[in-house]
Chain A
Amino acid sequence: MTDASATRKASVPWQNARIVRIVRQTSRIKSFFFAPPHPFQHLAGQHVDLRLTAPDGYSAVRSYSIASAPGSSGEIELAVERLDDGEVSPFLHEVAEVGDEIELRGPLGGHFIWTAADGGPLLLIGGGSGLVPLMAMIRYRRSIGSDVPTLLLLSSRTWEDVLYRDELLELDSSGDGFSLMLTLTRGVSARSGDYSRRIDAAMIEEALARLPVAPRHVFICGSNPFVNTAADASLAAGLAAPIIRTERYGT
């Protein structure tokens, strides 16, 4: 006899995860490293939900992409941009401290993900903090020693606003098949060959030309106008809609 309630799979549980480290990344982005009491394995590109609860029971939930690679330490890195009119990100930036416990649950999401079995080449296109889930893929690729050709086209406001800049520059020069194209919307790159304008179709064409063969998977993450521009340009360049996965900021 089968007891349906006994075989029913559990939902992904909430847990109180301690903040073990806070690192300022740019003027608007801080990384929060969490140690969940029950560590979980995520896939690159997945997210967690955070829940903040006020003394009167009011709660606020937000989703944040995981920046860290799957595996290693049991720690989860979230890179959170401070939104001036936000409710949760200003709390994290200004009130949360190392040692605090924050409710989170994960891993969540089953679409905007990349695993080694999916293969490549990969075209990754990120705007601002839209880099975060792509960074998990880049770090995961590195951690497993993958040589899948991967190009990241990253749009940031200024050179100082480039999230994970030193890490990306180091990877770009490592010769393992990863390359970085930067475009700065309000500044000039310290490197030659980068761009100083908003993302456009010509830039996508150039990104495609830098890959040895056409990408098998395209991941685009950023604001809705950014994602639309990048996705439409990818389609115009001849890429097929089913290989293009998008993630747009909610609010």
Chain B
Amino acid sequence: MATRGFTGRGRSGSEAERIPPGQHLVEDFPVLSAGPTPRIYPEKWSFTLKIGPKPVKMWSWAEFNALPQTKATRDIHCVTAWSKLNTSWEGVLIDDLLAEAGVEAPTPYLLAHSYDGYSTNVPLADLTGGRAMIALRYEGKPLEPDHGGPARLLVPHLYFWKSAKWINGLQFTERDEPGFWELRGYHIYGDPWREQRYTND
């Protein structure tokens, strides 16, 4: 249904094909989170890979920074309808993380966990093949606390709530377990190109 009197101004010329339906471009980097911004000091930071309840590998901040670092420039899409193009990140690909841990994926499902108790589920297939990283740097600088620093998940092809801020671990799960927002009305998968914003979209 066309809305009476609405012409819109969000079309972005040659960039329009990079903007998923219902999204609009922003130049700034809005901050959205469910609670206070946690302050996590790198010397206290650690990252744990688990299979079910069992930790299989843990990295300190120094050990994590010694892993292969990869740069990526990607478009990102927030479920609150903003998109931002050409954001540049640097961090550890999940491929490299799993290789370093020597772990054969036991299930196709993972949950990302964060320092503030947040969690979000992402299938293994969406985290591997160069599609996702644990990002430590944004636009050449250490990631700020408001944007998830010191480390956040980056899964740019899904709505950005999947890119968990303040991440401290990944956990293989038997089933596809809904995380924080997925239990609170948001879509289990979150593909912006199919506008999977809310449950069962």
Write the residues of chain A forming the contact surface with B, with a CB cutoff of 8 angstroms.
8-12, 16, 49, 51-55, 58-63, 87, 91, 95-96, 100-103, 105, 108-112, 224, 228, 231-232, 234-235, 241-242, 244-246, 248-251
Contacts and interface: CB of A to CB of B under 8 A. Distances in A.
Contacts of B75: none
B80 interface: yes
B183 interface: yes
Given A58-B10, A109-B184, A244-B36, 10 more contacts: A59-B8, A60-B24, A87-B9, A95-B5, A110-B185, A111-B180, A111-B184, A228-B37, A246-B34, A248-B32
B55 interface: no
Residue from B116, B181, B185 with most neighbouring chain A CB atoms (10 Å): B185
Contact of A103 (B3, B78, B117): B3
A12 B35 contact: no
- Closest 5 A-B residue pairs measured CB to CB? A110-B184, A250-B80, A231-B36, A61-B22, A11-B200
Given A245-B34, A248-B32, A224 B2 contact: no
Given A59-B22, A235-B36, A242 B117 contact: yes
Given A12-B198, A101-B1, A224-B146, A60 B184 contact: no
B38 A241 contact: yes
Interface residues of B, number: 43
Interface majority SS (helix, strand, loop, mixed), chain A: mixed
B28 A55 contact: no
A96 B197 CA distance: 26
A251 B26 contact: yes
B1 A53 contact: yes
B174 interface: no
B197 A52 contact: no
B82 to A, nearest CB: 5
Contacts of B185: 108-110
A246 B180 CA distance: 14
A53 B35 contact: no
A181 B4 CA distance: 41
Contacts of B22: 51, 59-61
Contacts of A105: 198
A110 to B, nearest CB: 3
A48 B92 CA distance: 37
